[in-house]
Structure 1
Amino acid sequence: MLSVIVVNFNTREYLRKCLTSLRAHEPGAQLIVVDNASRDGSAEMVAQDFPDVALFAEKKNLGFAAGNNVGLKAATGDYVVLFNSDAELRDAALTQCVAAMEADPSIGAVHPALEGPDGLPQIAEHNFPSLGSMFRDALRLKNKRPGSLENRWLAGTALVIRKKALDSIGGKLDDSYFMYWEDADLSAKLKKAGWKLELVPGATVKHHGGASGGGADTARRADLHAWFCYGKHRWFRSNRPRWEAAAVWMMDLVDVPRKTLRGLAKHSARYSEWAQAKVTAQVLFGSLTGAKPPLPRGA
């Protein structure tokens, strides 16, 4: 059996399309919605229009990882899917993913190909971060194209996970990540436990992108950037050598003055490097005491 978990935050109409597509193309799947205290009537819509869906209407925004953990406790399938509320099926792509995993018991998780609303492909796999990749980012140099899957992590957009593999690493996501980096952390843990990660290019999922976060990453608000920065440094502390995590911390610290000056010279109400520099500094020093950023605005 396939269990599909959809964590939602104020994306009612995307969620409606998402659930409609899941019910149409994966009719035998267990559907679970975890609503993170939406204020747009999402939970009420699910209760009224999709009464067969297991609905968990939370009283506060738990974040992506903790929200999925709520759904995982209710999941009964041998395979579980982390499925974004702004994603849609056009065919039985998830069943195709399961078939690929059934054919190879060493695979712990797979991801279908992603296609944007414009019909263009989206990236579903990324190289694991390293000090070198962070240095190239800082210099605004192109990073290497995704190489072998041995060194790649899979996005959490439509991630199909073998329940046995998930149980082998504790059965849940690390809910210290409120948003961002939890999928990279999950992939790293599965790899460390000896499971393979694969893409299933023959299966495709439509993904709008950025619905819960208010837009594309290039327009990320400072309060969301704080969680991106927090997640990055937690990921390095959890999954890379200590010296490398410390070097990335220092790299971000050195970059704060540059971002501050750039932001002051070219301020934008929507995207301010100065604001990002400020929250970066707060996250960096907060990490020394174990402090987390405040919840994003409106969460």
Structure 2
Amino acid sequence: MNTEKGMEDENSSFLRPHSSLKGCADVALVILNWNGANFLRRFLPGVIAHADGARVIVADNASTDDSVELLARDFPTVELLLLERNFGFCEGYNQALKQVDSDFFVLLNSDVEVTLGWLRPLRALLENNPRIAAVQPKILAHADPTTFEYAGAGGGYLDRLAYPFCRGRLFDTLERDQGQYDDPRPVAWASGACLLVRRAAWQALGGLEPAFFAHMEEIDFCWRLQNAGHEVWYHGGSAVQHVGGGTLPKTNPRKTYLNFRNGLALLYKNAAPGELVGPMFQRLVLDGVAGLRFLATGEWRNFWAILRAHFSFYGMLGYWRQQRRAARPHLRVAQRQGVYNGSLVWAYFARGKRKFSELGLK
């Protein structure tokens, strides 16, 4: 649901409120949509049915399909926020949530199927613990709900080089859900596919990093939350199903570019001074290895995507340095939750570790 990001415009949107819902609920379920009419037809009825009194808002990122007409015709109880242009994922949410005054937001992908009672455990967790600023449910694959889904699974972790992984997912290896990750617990990051967050914390941090455009933006946001003294949690007592891959398939060179560029920026922006130099050097080396691997297998477009990612990162180094300088008073050393002190690359590729439980983490 993303395309090229536009520039911010204070008059960029129009909100159509539903009078019976306006201002009545403290939770707003906000779906950012771009040409996702098919997903809205398929999954929005369930979101409405299981909203538990929360507001349901679709922020439309200047769709060119029939999304807006569909919403007006078939979903009159849904609040519609029309963005004047397509801002992309990160800035689209930033623009939309500026106009939503609920105490809690749920960032909900349009390709997520929710279940009965999914919202209550997440909301209760934040209400009962003011230190928690964000939480995700268990995320299962819509195509096979017995399996964890790539984007979030059983809660997000980072290794010491800031490579992301999940309980239930190491790189592309997905585990079956056998109840092993049903507990609530603090994590390093929560998935943007379904993320409940406090409005006050969102506003204090300025929302998502717009320069990321898409991919790893929720990891950056959650790392900034922890650096600011908040906690990020996963709650396995709530579950949703995610289609995933609807915007960019995992083999798409555009996704390769964003993942490699944003991975470098993620580490550079947020790592504490004593944790930056060594990990950054190792990331550069491993990126080179990944590029050579693509080259050896004839995946020229992915090889070029990595080169472009590095050119972009270095070209924006002044901006990233400015962001790091602004965050410096809050950069924390190694006391964050959900951090694996080893190397996920080494554990997975050299030692054959394929399950979260094999990493020695609790």
* Fold equivalence (TM over 0.5): yes
Distance 1:169 1:71 in 2: 15
User: CA-to-partner distance for each residue in 1:59-84, whole Å, 9 max, x for gaps?
Assistant: 54322111111221122211111101
Distance 1:197 1:157 in 2: 15
Q: 2:304 aligns with which of 258, 278, 285?
A: 278
Provide the residue aligned with 2:229 in structure 1. 194
Deviation at 1:149, TM superposition (A): 5.4
* Contiguous gaps of at least 5 residues in structure 2: 1-25, 165-170, 174-180, 320-362
Instruction: Tell me, yes or no, if the aligned pair for 1:128 and 1:151 is still in contact at 8 Å.
Output: no
Provide the residue aligned with 2:4 in structure 1. none
Residue 158 (1) aligns with residue 194 (2): yes
Instruction: Tell me, yes or no, if the aligned pair for 1:108 and 1:190 is still in contact at 8 Å.
Output: yes
Provide the residue aligned with 2:49 in structure 1. 24
Runs of 4+ in structure 1 off by over 4 angstroms are 148-151
* Structure number with higher helix proportion: 1
Distance 2:52 2:290 in 1: 50
Distance 1:34 1:132 in 2: 31
Identity %: 28
Count of residue pairs brought into register by the alignment: 271
Distance 2:108 2:68 in 1: 17
Instruction: Tell me, yes or no, if the aligned pair for 1:30 and 1:75 is still in contact at 8 Å.
Output: no
Deviation at 1:98, TM superposition (A): 0.4
Provide the residue aligned with 2:160 in structure 1. 130
TM (norm. structure 1) is 0.81
Distance 2:216 2:194 in 1: 15
Q: 1:287 aligns with which of 291, 294, 313?
A: 313
Provide the residue aligned with 2:5 in structure 1. none
Instruction: Tell me, yes or no, if the aligned pair for 1:15 and 1:85 is still in contact at 8 Å.
Output: yes
AA aligned to 2:77 is D
Deviation at 1:159, TM superposition (A): 0.6
Q: 1:40 aligns with which of 62, 65, 68?
A: 65
Distance 1:91 1:61 in 2: 32
AA aligned to 1:32 is I
Instruction: Tell me, yes or no, if the aligned pair for 1:180 and 1:227 is still in contact at 8 Å.
Output: yes
Q: CA RMSD in A?
A: 2.8
Q: 1:54 to 1:249 in 2, by over 3 A?
A: farther
TM (norm. structure 2) is 0.68
Distance 1:287 1:103 in 2: 40
Distance 2:147 2:194 in 1: 14
User: CA-to-partner distance for each residue in 1:195-229, whole Å, 9 max, x for gaps?
Assistant: 1122221111121112222x4x2xx2112221222
